Amino acid sequence: MNAEGPPEPVLVVLQKARGTLRVTGPEARTWLNGLVTCDVLPVAEGRGAFGLALNKQGKIQSEIVVVASPEGLLVGVSSGVDQKLAAALDKFLVMEDAELIVASETFVWADFHGLGAAALAESAAQVCGGYAAVIGFTPAGGATLVCERTELLELERFVTRTPTLALASDADWEAFRIEQVLGRFGVDFTDNDNPHEAALDRRAVSWSKGCYLGQEVVCMQDMRGKLKRRLVALSLDGPELPEAGALVTSSASGNTETVGEVTSAALSPITGKAVALARVKGPYFEGKLPLTLAGKSAAFVEQAPAE
């Protein structure tokens, strides 16, 4: 919020490439809850969940966003993985009274980021006939909306004519998510990473729910506390954007050492400086040792505490 003026508009990100799975049946909720990192049981009208689908080794297979509908659960998944993930989950559907189908061509998603996101997402849902839910993507506050793809134009019209909403450009979204250390599957982390390495262990993992696929590995990682690498947000002293793959280095040991690489970069609308997500190895991701990126000193972007 700007203390000298009105609140910043809520940023609306159209997630057109996000896939959708539909899970229905009397045991849909309990079945899905045993497979994903977030707690699905409390998901109800107006309340959703953000989590991850892992394999048995605790490696990320997809981000997931779960919203309730009258027919069951709608599950948003990372771009391009809907068929593959559905096939993997279907192997665990044995005796349960539930049904899983891919519905990516039917539904489209929009994420709302900022103060007042939940109420505005609900207003949008009333216009386009969708389902809105509070989602804690980041400490900035957030919500998501899923509606039929045929209503996408109506949703866009609602956003553009609502003064308290701002339709995000690609550049807006990149800058926001980088500064919030919200990586993208397939870009900033892959199926070789676990939740801790993707910096999602305190955002997309419930530490109070029952068992789920990959939980033992995730819990062991948390107790052990030692990571080989972790996704972090860095700020440069200037507007020049580093390319994906640019090396992060450090001379803390006395010699210049490569300690990581850039995965995404954007221009911060707040500081006018370049910001980047980078996969940095330990202990350099802890923020106690000096880092250099593209020949310039790199500072860690200050993060709001996790809720």
Confidence band of 4 (pLDDT split at 50, 70, 90)? low
> Hey, what are 45's tokens?
């009208």
Contacts of 201 (CB under 8 A, 6+ apart): 195, 218, 222
3-state secondary structure of 190: coil
Say what the pLDDT of residue 75 is: 98
Share of the chain above pLDDT 70, in %: 96
Say if CB 301 and CB 290 are below 8 A apart: no
- Distance from C-alpha of 10 to C-alpha of 6, rounded to nearest angstrom: 12
Confidence band of 51 (pLDDT split at 50, 70, 90)? very high
Say if CB 195 and CB 205 are below 8 A apart: yes
> Hey, what are 236's tokens?
């440069």
- Distance from C-alpha of 157 to C-alpha of 214, rounded to nearest angstrom: 42
3-state percent breakdown (helix, strand, coil) of the chain, nearest 5: 20, 35, 45
pLDDT digits (tens, 9 = 90+) for 87-115: 999 999 999 999 999 999 999 999 999 99
Bridge partners for 292 per DSSP: 249, 297
Say if CB 108 and CB 16 are below 8 A apart: yes
Place of tokens 């701002």: 166
Reference 293, options 269, 276, 272; nearest CA is 276
The pTM assigned to this predicted structure is 0.94
Q: Is beta strand 296-300 parallel, antiparallel or unpaired with respect to 257-267?
A: unpaired
Please say if the pLDDT value at position 305 is more than 60: no
Please say if the pLDDT value at position 307 is more than 50: no
pLDDT digits (tens, 9 = 90+) for 147-185: 999 999 999 999 999 999 999 999 999 999 999 999 999
Distance of CA 260 to the CA centre of its chain: 21
Contacts of 77 (CB under 8 A, 6+ apart): 18, 19, 20, 21, 53, 62, 63, 64, 85
pLDDT digits (tens, 9 = 90+) for 10-21: 999 999 999 999
Say if CB 179 and CB 275 are below 8 A apart: yes
More confident residue, 226 or 187: 187
Domains of the chain plus CATH, in order, are 10-162 (3.30.1360.120), 227-300 (2.40.30.110)
Q: What number of residues does the chain have? A: 307
pLDDT digits (tens, 9 = 90+) for 232-267: 999 999 999 999 999 999 998 889 999 999 999 999
Hey, what's the torsion of the CAs at 18, 9, 272, 178, to 10 degrees? Answer: -30
Say what the pLDDT of residue 295 is: 85
Confidence band of 1 (pLDDT split at 50, 70, 90)? very low
Mean pLDDT of the region 54-81: 97
Confidence band of 142 (pLDDT split at 50, 70, 90)? very high
Mean pLDDT of the region 41-62: 97
pLDDT digits (tens, 9 = 90+) for 265-296: 999 998 999 999 999 999 999 999 999 998 88
